[in-house]
Amino acid sequence: MRNYKKYAPYPPVAISGRSWPDKSITKAPIWCSVDLRDGNQALPVPMSVDEKVAMFQLLVSIGFKEIEVGFPSASATEYAFARRLIEGNLIPDDVTIQVLTQSREHLIRKTYEAISGAKHAIVHLYNSTSSLQRNVVFRKNREEIKAIAIEGTALVRRLKDESGNAGIRYEYSPESFTGTELDYALDVCHAVMDTWGASADDKIILNLPSTVEMSLPNIYADRIEWFCRNIKDRVAVLISVHAHNDRGTAVATAELALLAGADRVEGALFGNGERCGNMDIVTIALNLFTQGVDPELDFSDLPRIREVYRRCTRMDIHPRHPYSGDLVYTAFSGSHQDAISKGLKAQPSSPGGLWAVPYLPIDPQDVGCNYEAIVRINSQSGKGGVAYVLEKDYGIQIPKWMQPDFAEAVQGVADTTGAELTPEQIHELFHAEYVKLKEPFTIKKCQIRWDDKDLERNDEEATTISCIVQSKEKELSFEAQGNGPLDAFVKGFVRVSGLDFSIDEFAEHAIGRSAGALAVAYIKIGCADGRISFGAGIDSNISLASIKATVSALNRLP
């Protein structure tokens, strides 16, 4: 790592009074998807025509109005795809296709052949203007490189006029803008504008790409603001940005560029693209969404979008990819689980209905995901997460005072297996740990009768219980009275067993809402010798459920 000395810092921009730090993004930019061109070029196995059609239809359904469909002059497949879209009337009237071409005459002419008959099309011409490419790749000076842009623009203009198609627009990219001197990029773009004849009625798109991400996002924003300040006839120009992710900050680069004056953003679904990818248009759009800004793109069914993307590109999506990954709405950490569980319960009373759940910056349901996988259990999980899973999936509401006890049992299994526990496994463990215990005590018979002479009183021992409890050594038979079935059972069992204990905590609820719903009871007992134990019981009769819970706790005494 001592080789850091062979790298030079990216030069800052000499700009004073920059305004972008004080601005906010309050509306969506013009979006352009480059999935079918830039994204396709980055695939080990490029998409077929049929796959490109499927991807195009997906992009249309999301709401893209400008879609770069390929480089038709450089690929027979992309040429055939453009013709399929046009001849098959697959392009909605409000959608504009975009085609890329180098500034070479035969390629430009081939491009026009590809878009013949299209109602709306953007011809996107580029040539590299960076000092490195000028000196190393092309070995041309500034004027020679500018001449390439001028000649290409003039031909694009002439062919548009000859076609008589007023629906053709023009985009120019000084490729490797991040490696181009600002004054020179401006000079080239001014020459292109003059050649095209840009006006407020016939705006030119000037795309200023971060072809290779080379600087902090704020420096790119400075470059965009400098450019917007100095470009002539600003009303005749749409400033577009196309950020790559070499430094891992493409989304931030694009967002700050919008603050700095950019009108338009090019990007790809899930950041697909060469090297580290393009700017992820899903992320930036949902970033706007979470700030209360309409992104004007529909990502309400992310699972469907992911499925089509994976099928067409053969690319996967990282499980921690913002908004889109399989695990981004999942918490394994105990403290996170507890906070999420409490936040979801409190959400209905949130002021103004605003979304406010800890650790979830977006409601998963807004992007087509459900709450089923929010809390998942492994060795990192806590009592709140375990309780959340049981309540959400099975209606079992373990009281707080009992949650640590069951969480310890779950933790033991997770530590032993080293694996994640499914809700089914947690449910089975709850039953195995509490409900199904048969030793050392099992209820063989239990009859309850009430003899309440004064229904208004609640302090008399008006309940009689007759029980037979089987222990390892013998049967324990007793009859006892109490102010309720549970009180009577405890008094009778203590008398015949000699085990001195009391009920310290008790809770119960129905599982479900029907008249025939099962009841579950939870018990914490404390013994005279200081031992404590927890139990749970399930029965259609709530009184029997509480007695079963007591026996469960007795069976679990240490």
- Write out pLDDT tens, residues 6-43: 999 999 999 999 999 999 999 999 999 999 999 999 99
- Please state, for a pLDDT cut of 70, what percent of the chain lies above it: 98
Q: 180-194, 326-340, 414-428: which has the highest mean pLDDT?
A: 180-194
Q: How confident is the model at residue 243 (pLDDT cuts 50, 70, 90)?
A: very high
Could you please report the per-residue DSSP string of 386-446?
Answer: HHHHHHHHH-----TTTHHHHHHHHHHHHHHH-SPBPHHHHHHHHIIIIIT--SS-EEEEE
Position 334 scores a pLDDT of 82
252 sits in which H/E element = helix 250-259
Beta-bridge mates of residue 467: 446, 478
Is the bond preceding residue 440 a cis peptide, omega within 30 degrees? yes
| CA 299/CA 365 separation, integer angstroms | 11
SS3 78: helix
* Local structure of 14: helix, strand or coil: coil
Tell me the mean pLDDT in the region 234-257.
98
Q: Strands 121-128 and 532-539: what pairing?
A: unpaired
- The mean per-residue pLDDT over the stretch 489-494 comes to 96
- Across the chain, mean pLDDT equals 94
Return d(Cα 334, Cα 339) in angstroms, integer: 9
**What is the arithmetic mean of pLDDT over 446-451?**
87
Q: Identify the pLDDT of residue 541.
A: 92
pLDDT at 374: 85
Q: Which residues are 443's β-sheet partners?
A: 469
Q: If you count them, how many residues does the chain have?
A: 558
What is residue 338's predicted lDDT score, i.e. its pLDDT? 87
Domains present along the chain, CATH in parentheses: 31-313 (3.20.20.70), 334-432 (no CATH), 442-452+460-555 (3.30.160.270)
532-542 as b/e, with b when 16 or more CB fall inside 10 Å? bbbbbbbbeeb
* 175 has a pLDDT exceeding 80: yes
Q: What is the mean pLDDT of residues 189-207?
A: 97
Q: How many CB atoms lie within 10 A of CB 381?
A: 27
HSE on the CB side for 48, CA within 13 Å? 4
- pLDDT, one tens digit per residue, over 385-401 is 888 889 988 999 999 99
Cα distances from 445 to residues 434, 442, 468, 544, in angstroms, run 20, 9, 5, 11
Give dist(CA 375, CA 355) in Å, integer.
18
- Is the pLDDT assigned to residue 102 strictly greater than 70? yes
Give the model's pLDDT for residue 454: 62
pLDDT of residue 93: 97
pLDDT band at 475 (very low <50, low <70, confident <90, very high): very high
- Of 278, 265, 302, 249, nearest to 58 by C-alpha is 302
**What is the structure's pLDDT at 144?**
96
Please tell me whether residue 448 adopts helix, strand or coil conformation.
strand
What is the pLDDT, as a whole number, of residue 452?
A: 64
Q: Please tell me the distance from the alpha carbon of residue 218 to that of residue 389, in angstroms, as a whole number.
A: 43
pLDDT of residue 439: 92
Q: Is the pLDDT of residue 459 over 60?
A: no
Least confident range of 368-382, 437-451, 529-543: 368-382
d(CA 130, CA 531): 78
DSSP string, 475-530: EEEEEEEESSHHHHHHHHHHHHH---EEEEEEEEEEESSSTT-EEEEEEEEEETTS
Binned at pLDDT 50, 70 and 90, residue 505 comes out as very high
Q: Which of 222, 286, 207 has the alpha carbon at shortest distance from 253?
A: 222
Residue 48 is given by DSSP the state P
Could you tell me the pLDDT band of residue 259, with boundaries at 50, 70 and 90? very high
Q: How confident is the model at residue 267, as a pLDDT?
A: 98
On the question of pLDDT at 379 being above 90, the answer is no
**Residue type present at position 187:** D
pLDDT number for residue 442:
96
Per-residue pLDDT band at 285 (split at 50, 70, 90): very high
Question: What tokens does 520 get?
Answer: 């579950």
Q: Which long-range contacts (CB under 8 A, 24 or more apart) does 189-195 make?
A: 189/231, 190/231, 190/232, 191/146, 191/149, 191/150, 192/149, 192/150, 192/153, 193/232, 193/233, 193/236, 193/237, 195/150, 195/153, 195/154, 195/157
Say what the pLDDT of residue 77 is.
95
Classify 278 as helix, strand or coil.
strand
pLDDT for position 372: 74
How would you label 11-36 residue by residue, b for 16+ Cβ within 10 Å and e otherwise? eebebeebebeeeeeeebbebbbbbb
Phi, psi of 375 (to 5 degrees): -115, 120
The pTM assigned to this predicted structure is 0.85
Give pLDDT tens digits for 59-88: 999 999 999 999 999 999 999 999 999 999
Q: Give the angle subtended at the CA of 326 by the CAs of 320 and 329, to the nearest 5°.
A: 80
DSSP assignment of 128-170 equals E--HHIIIIII---HHHHHHHHHHHHHHHHHHHHHHT-TTEEE
* Predicted confidence (pLDDT) at residue 461 exceeds the cutoff of 80: no
Identify which of 24, 62, 49, 26 has the alpha carbon closest to the alpha carbon of residue 268: 62
Least confident of 147-156, 327-336, 393-402, 533-542: 327-336
pLDDT band (50, 70, 90) for residue 457: low
What element of type H or E holds 79?
helix 76-87
Q: What is the dihedral of CA 147, 150, 152, 155, to 10 degrees?
A: -130
Confidence check: pLDDT of 207 > 90: yes
Read off the tokens for 152: 């290409």
Strand 121-128 and strand 264-267: pairing?
unpaired
Confidence of residue 384 (pLDDT cuts 50, 70, 90): confident
